[in-house]
Structure 1
Amino acid sequence: MTFKYSFTFPISGANKLPRFKEWAAEHAPEIEVSLPPQVPIKSETLTIRLKSLGDRQALMTRLAGVDL
């Protein structure tokens, strides 16, 4: 199965990918994500790829109000 869905959320600062990976491992380990190889420090968002619409909705719900 491919990663057909995407989700973009606000995140700023350095080390976006490690911070997201740590959060996802703790709060959403069952959701498979595909991350970009790198994200510029100046970027204020992170776009990840997901396998299903259900995964996207679950991640949106879990990230609501979270400050990464």
Structure 2
Amino acid sequence: MTFRYSFTFPINGPNKIPRFKRWAAEHAPDVEVSLPPQVPVKSEAMTIRLKSADDRGKLLAKLAETPLA
């Protein structure tokens, strides 16, 4: 199965990928994601890839409950 769905969300500051990995491990361990190799520091958004639309819904719900720090 491939990562066919994408999800772009706002995230500011440095170390976006490690911050998202920590958040996902704690709040959404059941959602498999494919992360970009890098994200520029000045970027204000990050796009990740997901396997299904259900995973996107789960991630949206988790982000609404517990925003990324």
Judge same fold: TM > 0.5, yes or no: yes
Query: Which TM-score band (shorter chain)?
Result: over 0.9
Residue-pair matches, total: 68
Q: Which residue of 1 aligns with 2:24?
A: 24
The percent identity for this pair of structures is: 69
Q: TM-score, normalised by structure 2?
A: 0.94
Q: TM-score, normalised by structure 1?
A: 0.95
Matches within 5 A, 1:1-68: 1-64=1-64, 66-68=67-69
Q: Which amino acid aligns with 1:52?
A: S
What's the RMSD between the two structures over aligned residues? 0.9
Q: CA deviation digits over 1:19-62, x for unaligned, max 9? A: 00000000001100000000000000010000000000000111
